[in-house]
Amino acid sequence: MIDTLYDLLLKYYGPRGWWPISLSNPLPRHPYHVGDYTFPKNDAQRLEIALGAILTQNTAWKNVTQALADLSQGGLFSVSALLDTDLTPLGQAIRKAGYFNQKANYIKAFVEFLQQHPFGKLAEMSVSEARAKLLTVKGIGFETADCILLYALGQTVFVVDAYSKRFLRHLGWISPQATYAQVQSLFQQALPLDLPCYQEYHALLVEHGKGYYSKKPYGLGDPFLKLAQLKSKC
């Protein structure tokens, strides 16, 4: 069911090419890299992914791209620059992403964390260990940690978000009070351990969620509610 749903979504929307990399991706001006799963290629791109993951917390991606551009414009797009910057100018630079006071603190905490645990070190650790380390950082919760693991560190960890929960709830595949961990293991037990699949699946669920699960009543006109139920009877 979970794996069949992936096939259906992929066929319907096509590959999404996540995580978008707009600033540190020289060649295509297009931030998405459909069909190329060799990203990220360097630590600058890993940093961009992690910053984007923090900035997009409960925030539209469009606003995040502006904040990332403003960071770059202000010369704040590196670990060292972020370490040297005070909270106030940092907050002003990311202002357009909202919650800028909180997120300035989160970004500070994260780059200080990176000093002790750079991407290379994190990649050497076991997934559960790296995840536990990330979760100690203030401002990095389950979803943000898993986004960093999946898209910046190339670990095959499934990212759960609000859209996915709403979707599965309407499919009747989870209970309303299902926890993050429960939804995550539902996906991870059903899917083969395949990095591109995990990366695309989360992106596809967000795409689908934007279409049918952003405003109430949720699920109105969702063609997959019928499709998936037909498939589940086989």
Partner DNA sequence: AACCAGGACGTGA
Partner DNA sequence: TCACGTCATGGT
Residues that bind DNA (CB under 7 A): 18-20, 52-53, 56-63, 66, 95-96, 98-103, 137-145, 147, 151, 161-163, 177, 179, 206, 210, 213-216
CA-CA distance, 145 to 148, in Å (whole number)? 5
CA-CA distance, 138 to 120, in Å (whole number)? 21
Nearer to DNA, 216 or 233 (CB): 216
CA-CA distance, 160 to 33, in Å (whole number)? 22
Nearer to DNA, 103 or 169 (CB): 103
Q: In whole angstroms, how close is the CB of 233 to DNA at the nearest point?
A: 30
Q: Is 17 left (phi over 0), alpha (psi -120 to 50) or beta?
A: left
Beta-carbon count within 10 A of 108 CB: 19
Nearer to DNA, 141 or 196 (CB): 141
Nearer to DNA, 40 or 139 (CB): 139
Q: In whole angstroms, how close is the CB of 65 to DNA at the nearest point?
A: 8
Nearer to DNA, 4 or 178 (CB): 178
Q: Which of 128, 157, 154 is nearest to 143 (CA)?
A: 157
* Residue count of the chain: 234
Angle at 134 between CA 110 and CA 158, to 5 degrees: 125
Helix H or strand E encompassing 133:
helix 127-135
